[in-house]
Copies of this chain bind each other. A is one copy, B any other.
Amino acid sequence: MPGMHSPAAPKDPPIDDAQAPSVGMLLTMVRSEMVRALEAEMASEGLDLSFTQFMILKKADLLGAVSATELARAVELDCGAMTRQLDQLERKGYLRRAPHAQDRRALRIELTDAGAAIWQNTASVCSQRVMNTAQRSLDKSEQTQFHDYLERVLLALRDKS
């Protein structure tokens, strides 16, 4: 009788709890540890950035000046949420909303000098440190493979073929 379950009777105490966590649970835990670690690392450098804001700066640096919608897609964030994050990042002085030359509906989000500096001198360095910590028990080829597995799983989930 697999998956059995004794309803209310006195039962043997939870044996181990060290049941291997499922892949879903592991993904949740790994991601949240990584986020926590990165935010802590940045905080320890005096940089007050959420993981989301970190991702936005990263993409803004990588992509150059793009619209808010493109940026939202790049970090997989809802447009409404993006608006509010942009408000905050603009208040912090890390980026700027410039008008788009051809399309008066759209914006060009560009990093300020301060934003670019923060990214390059602090945020990206913190990220590197955290990634090193996270993957320190994987050798180079295992890291590659891990990355590859993640990509394949993502593809499998998205291809409803």
Contact = CB atoms under 8 A, between A and B. Distances in A.
Contact of A24 (B28, B38, B151): B38
Interface in A1-31: 3, 5-8, 11, 13-14, 17, 19-31
Contacts of A120: 3, 5
Main secondary structure of the interface of A (DSSP, over half): helix
Copies, count: 2
A149 B142 contact: yes
B55 A154 contact: no
Nearest to A158: B33
A152 interface: yes
Interface string A100-141: 000000000011010010011000100100010111111000
Given A23-B131, A33-B158, A149-B149, A14 B61 contact: no
